[in-house]
Amino acid sequence: MTPYPLEGCVSWNMNTVCNYRCSYCTQRFLDDRKAWARDLPGFLEAFRRLPGQWEIKLSGGEPFLHPQFLETVERLIQQGRRVAVVTNFSSSPTVLERYAAVTAPRPGVFSASLHLEYVSAATFLEKLLWFKSFYRGPLVATCVATPAQLPQLPELQEIYQKAGISLKIQPQKEDRDVIDYSDAEELQLRALGGHNGTGRLEASFRGRACWAGARYLIVDHRGEVWRCYPARRARSERLGNLLDGSFRLGMQAQPCLYEFCSCTVPFQRGMVDGGRDVRG
Ligand code: SF4
Ligand code: SF4
């Protein structure tokens, strides 16, 4: 049995707002792409009550576009939470400098998504190197491996690697399933490190004990809580709502009920029994 994870992680999709409209965005069919978490005192109080150590991983949409983004980050840090972010990295230098300063006491992973439909790989790298010169936490770049973009990714990965930035690849998804790549494309994806460098495209841990629901949570902008992304998709293992008092945190690892696991956090942090041995 995988041991109790000392630091839990909340993936908080704090808004659906985004300034980009990527052709492969998994959220492009959402009814409302202008929503954001409004009751910040309610969210902050709920996060404060979580027992033990937690990282709050902010994502969206584009989380930097939340109207009270930096204020929220500052309050979470003051609570003693580590703050990580997944961003398209389009914010101004002033805002990014402020983010680095505010998170300095407990900086989590800064994950910058390269969207080649909006920015060139060279411009993105230049900005990343500037940011890396003063950001105190780990920094990674990611890129969705659409079939059209796949051929240029080995070279880009090498250029980024030489510059000291890890460029991780994410398989393209359609309706949250990995698209049908050809065998040759799958080989290329694996050679590039697989999904987020895990070595796999998609794995199944069904039946294995997983700490998601107890030490990993998905929270949306309305406060709805799910065990993990596949649980949210299946509309099962809803854990209540953070804002109306109905949220109940799991207490222990439970068997995984899902055919495929699209969450990298539990896998990468050793929260899934035997997960690191599986190659999908
Ligand atoms: S930046 Fe991310 S959230 Fe925004 S449109 Fe692109 S993939 Fe979707
Ligand atoms: S799908 Fe992944 S995160 Fe969810 S319970 Fe299964 S192993 Fe854990």
Chain segment 204-259, per-residue pLDDT in tens: 899 999 999 999 999 999 999 999 999 999 999 999 999 999 999 999 999 999 99
Q: How is the chain split into domains, by residue range?
A: 7-277
Interval between CA 126 and ligand 1 midpoint (Å): 21
- Please tell me the CATH superfamily of domain 7-277, with its number: Aldolase class I (3.20.20.70)
The candidate with the shortest Cα–Cα distance to 82, out of 62, 109, 120, 100, is 109
What whole-number distance in Å separates Cα of residue 171 and Cα of residue 26? 12
Model pLDDT, residue 278: 47
Q: Which atom of ligand 2 is nearest to the CA of 229?
A: 4
Model pLDDT, residue 275: 66
User: Which structure tokens are listed for 34?
Assistant: 């202008």
The candidate with the shortest Cα–Cα distance to 237, out of 222, 252, 223, 256, is 256
Residue type for position 47: F
Q: Kindly list the protein residues whose Cβ atom lies closer than 6 A to any atom of ligand 1.
A: 18, 20-22, 25, 27, 60-62, 88, 113, 115
Neighbours of 125 (CB within 10 A): 19
Model pLDDT, residue 77: 98
Collect the ranges in the chain with pLDDT lower than 50.
Answer: 277-280
Strands 82-87 and 107-114, sheet pairing: parallel
**N residues, the chain:** 280
Residue type for position 166: S
Report yes or no on whether pTM surpasses 0.85.
Answer: yes
